[in-house]
Amino acid sequence: MLKLKRFSRASIVRLELYLEVLEAFQKEGKETVTSSEIGEATGITSVKVRQDLFGMGSDGRPKVGYEIVHLIRMLRDLFDLDNQKNACIIGCGNLGRALAGSGIWEKSGYKLSAIFDNDPAVISTTINGVKVRNTTELFGVLKASKIEMAVLTVPADVAQEMTDLLVSAGIKSIWNFTPTKLNVPDDVIVENQSLVWGLIALSFRVKSEK
Amino acid sequence: MLKLKRFSRASIVRLELYLEVLEAFQKEGKETVTSSEIGEATGITSVKVRQDLFGMGSDGRPKVGYEIVHLIRMLRDLFDLDNQKNACIIGCGNLGRALAGSGIWEKSGYKLSAIFDNDPAVISTTINGVKVRNTTELFGVLKASKIEMAVLTVPADVAQEMTDLLVSAGIKSIWNFTPTKLNVPDDVIVENQSLVWGLIALSFRVKSEK
DNA sequence: AATAAATTGTTAAAAGATTAACAACAAATA
DNA sequence: TATTTGTTGTTAATCTTTTAACAATTTATT
């Protein structure tokens, strides 16, 4: 029996990239692929590709390569992309609205089921078919629903406060766009995606890689 | 003479978080801080904090800690936050517009100097004081300007094509929001910030960490 | 002035990730 | 059927990062 390796953050990013190119290959009608082909398309060495796939419990055929359909299924299972999960957005500013209207939901298996904000000007408007609710309703709505994930796009100074509310309402994972370290219980997962931090990381690399 | 360590990606993220809490401490009037205090505030062990600061060439006093002003200056220098750099946005959809109007620019030392799109409906409109130009003008405008960084928020299927154009116009760094591995010359830096990938990473963690 | 307490700087050990190497195997060819 | 070729699975070596340990140093206290 194979023992599934624990994936590092870096390897997850690589696996996401593999999925991207595999789906492109599939669209072109390709049926099998070798580790070097994946490597070529992604800029990653074939050794690393093979090691990554091995860690996932790969099942390639010597001299032929991997079956694309199979690899895609493994990756989509690994990432849980075909299992619908309900999400809500907290904070409907520019970013919240952009996310609400973007194509990320279907690609990731999430369904945007609710949006909350406390600005009277946006409450009751509809974005992508979802009505914006007053934040005061948050606790009640979440308690009564199957929403397990919250996208946090509020100003940094209310991030922790909102997080506490979300946790008390039973949210189990948070996609955090604020540049704040959120304090949560052990069983709540926070994925940080602060855009400022991304931009600062770029600034750092530009300065130091030359 | 101290030799500056090479920072891993993970350590950069930690340093960004340190800066965040240090500026908060400063606002509260605090003047010095210990590695354990930083650790407490960030959820990172004090050992790692000390090691990170050491790698940056820290200069703390035993029994007292680090001077906050000094640490902040070091970090801002490291990240190049106080040196203004010009940027442009390529693709003015929901996300591009949200970024244009957000507060990330001043926080990172970048100045948004141009926006390009090819949708006649948005060309010539103004966002945050910057007029949206037709993409056909891109090459000329960039050649004539000091813009060195481009934010790529176009549909994935034109990402590489736009990248080639940007590179030919002399762009040296790209903040890539498309879920595409961009092919660029060695001297061009690409920082990937695909939101889908962030969301998929969250999905993965939710599935595997329980 | 001497001692105790707290905290850093720095080295060393452990853990984790990447790269390299190659045996095993399937397919193609003679 | 035997041989060659190409490609994977898997182990081993190298490199990187994290964690631990503790000596050195500064401040406070007696």
* Predicted confidence (pLDDT) per residue in A61-90, tens digit: 999 999 999 999 999 999 999 999 999 999
Angle at B197 between CA A12 and CA A180, to 5 degrees: 95
Confidence category of residue B1, pLDDT binned at 50, 70, 90: very low
pLDDT more than 70, % of chain B: 98
Confidence band of A209 (pLDDT split at 50, 70, 90): confident
Q: In this structure, what DSSP letter does residue A65 have?
A: B
Q: What pLDDT band is residue A3 in, cutting at 50, 70 and 90?
A: low
Q: Which nucleotides of D are covered by protein (CB under 7 A)?
A: 5-11, 16-21, 24-28
Average pLDDT over residues B96-114: 98
Q: Is the pLDDT of residue A30 over 80?
A: yes
Q: Does A9 touch chain B (CB under 8 A)?
A: yes
Give the pLDDT mean for B2-16.
85
Q: Which of A63-67, A114-118, A123-127, B2-6 shows the lowest per-residue confidence on average (mean pLDDT)?
A: B2-6
Residue B78 has pLDDT above 60, yes or no: yes
A2 pLDDT more than 50: no
The 10s digit of each residue's pLDDT in B134-156 is 999 999 999 999 999 999 999 99
Mean per-residue pLDDT, A95-111: 98
Confidence band, pLDDT 50/70/90 cuts, at residue B209 = confident
Mean pLDDT, rounded, of chain A: 96
Of B85, B189, B202, Cβ closest to residue A191: B202
Do the Cβ atoms of B199 and A108 come closer than 8 Å?
yes
Which of residues 93 to 112 on A have a Cβ less than 7 angstroms from any strand D atom?
A: none
How far is it between the farthest Cα atoms of chain A? 63
Q: How high is the pLDDT of residue B210?
A: 74
Reading the block at residue B169, the tokens are: 């116009």
B116 at the A interface (CB within 8 A)? no
pLDDT at B204: 97
Does the structure show a pLDDT above 50 at B2? no
pLDDT for the residue numbered A6: 83
Average pLDDT value over all residues in chain B: 96
> What percent of chain B is modeled with pLDDT above 90?
96
pLDDT value of residue A147: 98
Nearest protein residue to nucleotide C9, judged by CA and C1' positions = B54
User: Within an 8 Å CB–CB cutoff, is residue B160 touching chain A?
Assistant: no
Contacts of B42 in chain A (CB under 8 A): 181
User: Has residue B3 got a pLDDT over 90?
Assistant: no
Per-residue confidence band for B4, with pLDDT thresholds at 50, 70 and 90: low
Residue A115 has pLDDT above 60, yes or no: yes
Does strand D come within 7 Å of the CB of A54? Answer: yes
| Residue B80 Cα distances to A168, B110, B171, angstroms | 39, 10, 18
DSSP chain B: -PPPPPPPHHHHHHHHHHHHHHHHHHHTT--EE-HHHHHHHHT--HHHHHHHHHHTT---BTTTBEEHHHHHHHHHHHHTTTS-EEEEEE--SHHHHHHHTSTHHHHHTEEEEEEEE--TTTTT-EETTEEEEEGGGHHHHHHHS-EEEEEE-S-GGGHHHHHHHHHHTT--EEEE-SSS-----TT-EEEE--HHHHHHHHHHHHHH--
Q: pTM higher than 0.85 for the full model?
A: yes
pLDDT of residue A204: 97
The Cα-based distances of A122 to A141, A178, B87, B133 in angstroms read 18, 21, 30, 29
Work out the pLDDT band at B6, boundaries 50, 70, 90. confident
Residue B134 to residue A147: CA distance in whole angstroms: 41
Average of pLDDT values for B16-37? 98
**pLDDT of A58 higher than 70:** yes
**Mean pLDDT, rounded, for A20-44:** 98
Instruction: Find and list the nucleotides of strand C having atoms within 7 Å of a protein beta carbon.
Output: 5-11, 16-21, 24-28
**pLDDT score recorded for residue A1:** 35
Scan residues 27-46 of chain A and list those with Cβ within 7 Å of strand D: 34-36, 46
Q: Which residues contact B152 (CB under 8 A, 6 or more apart)?
A: B90, B91, B159, B162, B163, B166, B174, B175, B176, B177, B178, B182
B70 and B97 Cβ atoms separated by less than 8 Å: no
**pLDDT score at B153:** 98
A85, B187: Cβ pair inside 8 Å? Answer: no
Say whether A101 sits in a helix, a strand or coil. Answer: coil
Q: How distant, in Å, are the alpha carbons of A118, B115, B146, B158, B170 from that of B142?
A: 40, 11, 7, 19, 7
